[in-house]
Amino acid sequence: MYKNNVDLLFARLSSLRSKSVYESPELFWADYINIASRLFSSDRVCILVSENDPIVLTRQKTASFDSINQPVFDFCPDLAAKTVLNMSSRCLINGFAMESSFGHQGSTLLAFKLTQFDDKLVFVELLPDEKEQLKEVVIRGRLLADLPSGSQSQKIEYQDDAEHTDSLLPLLSLLPSLYSASTLELSGLKLVNDLVAASTDVDQAVIGWRNGKSISISQISHVERIDRNMELTKLFESALEEAFDQQSDISLSSSDSGLVFFAHEKLQRALGCEDIVSIIIYDIHDKPLGCLLLVKSSGRLSPQFMNSLSFILSVSSAKFDELYTSSLSVFERSVIYCENFLSLFLGKEWFLTKVISLFLLAIFLWLVFGSISFRIEATGEINTDKTLVISTSQDGVISEVYSDIGESVSKGDKLIELKKRDLILQLTELEAERQRYITEGDKARAYNNIVDVEIYNARRLQAEAKIKRINLKIKDAVMLAPYDGIVVEGERKNLIGLPVRKGDTLLKIARVEGLYLTLWVDESDAHFIAVGDTGEFSLVSQPLEPIPFTVERIVPMASVQSKGASFQIKAKLDSASQAWWRPGMTGVAKIDKGYEAPYWVFGRKSFNQMNLLLWW
């Protein structure tokens, strides 16, 4: 609606100047953005709020619609972009900043500082086809920079702003020629010559550029060739060095008592002029890049003119820095790039980002160039070959079990006892039968019946043999431990009252000696294992007490386990057996294979898996 009604636009602008930002801030800034968008002929306008040390940008809160119910354009540059942060830093110092090649579209980004605030910036983006409006946008942006005003001396400020605009208009014509220059010397020549031609305040201009830690005179207005042996040239260069060394602007009409200006006074006496001003030119990193010296024969250089010239130099700082860098040798450019990088890298800005980056870099360097112990993991258990199976020597029923699984037994200790009632009855019957045979034999002997005596003697011997057999069965009904060991098989609750037959296995006893490890290694790591390798084995019950071992034998045939194919390895324990060790105890083993690069240790399995997935 503003496009076809200019009167309405200026009426809205006048109304905005009379409003207070504190009554309705979000609505005020919504009006500001919409009016600025129409004045700049760009819908890419936003207001950012800055915080220093380090600089952090946030977007100013605005209403979705302005006071006449028009939608507010939604635009905001990347607040974390280095270009935007550098522009904000320069704009806070100089009041204006510009980036001629912004983003992938090659647009122009402008930043204006609002004079009534120390932290608010107006950003405007001009697309490549809108760059012809750059001069008008810069003027209008400076005119809008004093909003909101709210000052009692508002009328005086408008008059000062108008005077500043009048002094700025002639100097804006310098920008196209400066940006079209291909070398630093040509840009300096255009600056001093066009400056003297465009302004009646300047009678002579001299510019010098940084040369190492000093400054060297480059161009003098309307002088084609500089004779460096001339006394006047030396005076010019001394004045430039005086301002450059102090990194401060010097003006003889308003000299700061804290500055040294002897060279300027000497130059003034030599030229017979009334005013000399030296202005420092800064690069994009706010470092002194050069110095511009202005001479006025009669009268003083006005503050409005100096402010406008400072504005033009700040706008052109990026171009000067680009031309200066391109004029240096490859070595000098490399040194500058390194200095800038170290300044950014070691500076206090973006502290958390730098710490994280250093941490990630350290991890990367360690992964590539460091080393870590390469250990192959395996599962295993403690085993022993010295075991004995306790089985029954006769049929019967178990009446008592004296040792349970996991208990230690000593040689001669009772293990299992069978019921002996039937055997005792048989033994009683056989004793009676034996006695009867003895009595019958004595009777036959009394009758001198030799044949019957021998028969009864034979029957008696037969009964005694049966008695001896029953006694052996009664003795074998109680099974004893053959040696010291541990019951590793056979639970008491499952054995009591169990009918058994001759040869049935009841218990298994293992001796706590001759222990060794049986390990299972995944097939993907089996080719790394060799006889003689050493490692450590941690039991599940005591993980903090690793047991050293040495690989003795590798079974060259894989077995299918729950997690895939594995190879069996026999290993010898290198430490003495402990009393609490038990055959069958399980744990995790680590087999040492020296030191390798961390990226290979951690990534080898993923790399192999990826090769299998991509194999066609």
Distance from the Cα of residue 92 to its chain's centroid? 32
Fold of 376-383+510-614: Elongation Factor Tu (Ef-tu); domain 3 (2.40.30)
- Band the pLDDT of 160: cuts 50, 70, 90: very low
- Checking if the pLDDT of 450 tops 90, the result is no
Q: Model confidence over 484-493: pLDDT tens digits?
A: 778 878 888 8
**Beta-carbon contacts of residue 332 (< 8 Å; ≥ 6 apart):** none
What's the whole-number average pLDDT of the chain? 83
Q: Dihedral of CA 468/474/476/481: which sign?
A: negative
**Beta-carbon contacts of residue 30 (< 8 Å; ≥ 6 apart):** 62, 63, 64, 65, 66, 67, 72
Radius of gyration of the chain, Cα coordinates, nearest whole angstrom:
52
Q: Which CATH superfamily is domain 168-331 in?
A: GAF domain (3.30.450.40)
Q: Model confidence over 282-302: pLDDT tens digits?
A: 988 788 999 999 999 888 888
Which whole number is the average pLDDT over 436-440? 87
Per-residue pLDDT, 152: 36
Extract the runs of DSSP E, i.e. beta strands, from 248-345: 250-251, 275-282, 288-296
> Of residues 308 and 511, which shows the higher confidence score?
308
- Band the pLDDT of 569: cuts 50, 70, 90: very high
Per-residue pLDDT, 5: 61
- Checking if the pLDDT of 159 tops 70, the result is no
User: One-letter amino acid identity for 505?
Assistant: T
- Checking if the pLDDT of 481 tops 90, the result is no
* Closest listed residue to residue 336, CA positions, set 346, 326, 350: 326
439 phi and psi angles, rounded to 5 deg: -65, -45
Per-residue pLDDT, 168: 63
Q: 10 Å Cβ neighbour count for 97?
A: 27
- Band the pLDDT of 179: cuts 50, 70, 90: confident
Which whole number is the average pLDDT over 89-118? 80
DSSP element (H, E) containing 377 = strand 372-384
Q: Model confidence over 513-543: pLDDT tens digits?
A: 778 899 999 988 888 999 999 999 999 988 8
* Closest listed residue to residue 293, CA positions, set 271, 277, 270, 280: 277
Which whole number is the average pLDDT over 264-280? 90
Least confident of 19-28, 187-196, 583-592: 19-28
- CA 345 – CA 480 distance, rounded (Å): 81
- Domain 1-150 shares a fold with domain 168-331: yes
- Band the pLDDT of 6: cuts 50, 70, 90: low
- Band the pLDDT of 104: cuts 50, 70, 90: low
- Checking if the pLDDT of 151 tops 50, the result is no
Q: Model confidence over 360-378: pLDDT tens digits?
A: 999 999 999 999 999 999 9
Domain residue spans of the chain: 1-150, 168-331, 332-370, 376-383+510-614, 389-505
Q: Model confidence over 10-45: pLDDT tens digits?
A: 777 777 777 777 778 888 888 888 888 888 888 889
Q: Dihedral of CA 502/503/508/512: which sign?
A: positive
CATH class of the region 1-150:
alpha beta
